[in-house]
Amino acid sequence: MAELKHEQQDTEHKTSTNLIPAVQGKAVAEQVAAPSNGNKQEKGKEKEFTEQAAENAAEELLETPPQTPRMSPEMMEKHYALVAAEIVSSEEYYVGKLQYVVNKVKQPLTTIKVLPLYDINFVFGNIEIITRYNELMLSQLRQYKPGGAVRLGTIILKMTDFLKNYIAYVNNFVQAMARITELTKKNKAFRTFLERIQRDKASDNLDLLSLLVMPVQRIPRYVLLLKELLKYTPPGEEDAMSLEKALHKMMSVADEINNRKKEAENLAQMYKIQNNLVADSAPPLLTPSRRYVLEGDLQEYAVGGGPQPRRCFLFNDALMITVATSKHMYKTRQLIPLPDCELVAPSSAEQVASAAGTAHPQPVHRTASSGRLTVLARKLSSSTMKKQREAVTVPVPDHAFAVATHDKTVTLAAKTADESAAWFEAIRMCRREWQDKRKSFFAVST
């Protein structure tokens, strides 16, 4: 059964390129505050389970698929054992990575004194407490044997008494990621240390951000596994009652963590992009209201040449166009603010010139006869030094679209019409969101 397959490491533990695209509901970077913002009100905050949260958890629990009808006790136990094996296996991987962070990252940093102690404690938070706690839980989970007396419900229920440690960790996570980025930029020894960690096979070549985000992702994973385990636990048994109580508590905490998880994963992706930009061309990407939407490979069509490969990154307020310089490293060509640009659909490219304004040096037209985009450029004559206007016809796919600012038009196309349409729609929605915000602002102001 698909739910029981052990997830690949990059599915359960990494923050993927498209992990975040609009990845996650409410935009993370709407709250991605610089460390100076501090989120002071949240510091040290550990919320108790509320009656409302418990009610929400109970309602969601009712949506859990019912047990498979007409399943024999033997088959129930067989499926229970399979889910239990998945719980133990994923916990072993998770605890192994926690131990790696503590023993191979935090402790060496403390010993070699690459960072001040207060920075180390801030960056890693209470991860040592979480590690010790999960080591204990893992040792108890390993006592389970199919058909044996030890069941998982009681073990996991005891675990929920320590969930507040996860809340504290998650509340500190966003600020910790911001601090890591600052330290990486200005501390060469720390940057070299992190590069060595990522090359280490024992880390599965994960970077520090991917390792530190694991506790943020773990509670939602527990919820999914407990729901699956309950499907194969006979109702009314002590094990079933313990699992239900544990699930209620897990879901209450997961609700609280989930919003922070989205923010943390999106922020981690933003930092990863920032760190993968060549320094001399890298614009500052991290702003309080900016969030990551998607990225991908497009072709740019320009005057006097064929299509050029570009790696494009879409944020909720800007489109960044880059060119690859090496594996996972990019040089920024343009960062186009979406509120200040015009977007021209593939079927109406002739509107670019008028949309961009008369001062636009590179208006784009689609000719009815050829179906090609014609790029009009201004060049200086080397002999007369007078501006001359010439038209250069560039063969561009019919599904290309254009993004125009006051001084330039960029014509882009994906490999397929569907991909181009997806990019066009994503950019359009981001622009519309900003336009709506502006209208709301001016309405309030007047």
Beta strands 318-326 and 308-315: pairing type?
antiparallel
Tokens representing 391 are 């038209």
pLDDT (average), residues 290-319: 88
Task: Provide CB contacts within 8 A for 229, sequence distance 6+.
Answer: 80, 83, 84, 87, 152, 243
Could you count the other beta carbons within 10 Å of the beta carbon of residue 191? 15
Which among 139, 209, 133, 140 is positioned nearest to 164, based on CA atoms? 133
pLDDT tens digit string along 95-121? 999 999 999 999 999 998 889 999 999
For the ranges 93-102, 159-168, 359-368, 378-387, the lowest mean pLDDT is seen at: 378-387
Task: Provide CB contacts within 8 A for 44, sequence distance 6+.
Answer: 168, 171
- Give the pLDDT band (50/70/90) at residue 347: low
For the ranges 239-243, 282-286, 442-446, the lowest mean pLDDT is seen at: 442-446
**Residue 394 has what pLDDT?**
56
> In the predicted model, what is the mean pLDDT of the chain?
75
**Residue 305 has what pLDDT?**
67
Q: Please report where in the chains the tokens 């023993």 appear, as a residue.
A: 103
**Does 151 have pLDDT greater than 60?**
yes
Q: For residues 68 and 49, what is the distance between their CA atoms, to the nearest angstrom?
A: 32
**Does 321 have pLDDT greater than 90?**
yes
Pick the residue with more confidence: 46 or 136?
136
Per DSSP, 238 falls in state H
**Does 164 have pLDDT greater than 60?**
yes
**Residue 182 has what pLDDT?**
84
Cα 226–chain centre separation: 25
Which helix (H) or strand (E) is 165 found in, with range? helix 164-186
Q: Are 263 and 28 in contact (CB under 8 A)?
A: yes
Highest mean pLDDT among 13-17, 49-53, 209-213: 209-213
pLDDT (average), residues 81-90: 94
Pick the residue with more confidence: 47 or 219?
219
Q: For residues 196 and 184, what is the distance between their CA atoms, to the nearest angstrom?
A: 13
Q: Are 408 and 361 in contact (CB under 8 A)?
A: yes
Q: For residues 87 and 345, what is the distance between their CA atoms, to the nearest angstrom?
A: 49
**Does 9 have pLDDT greater than 80?**
no
Q: Are 102 and 131 in contact (CB under 8 A)?
A: yes
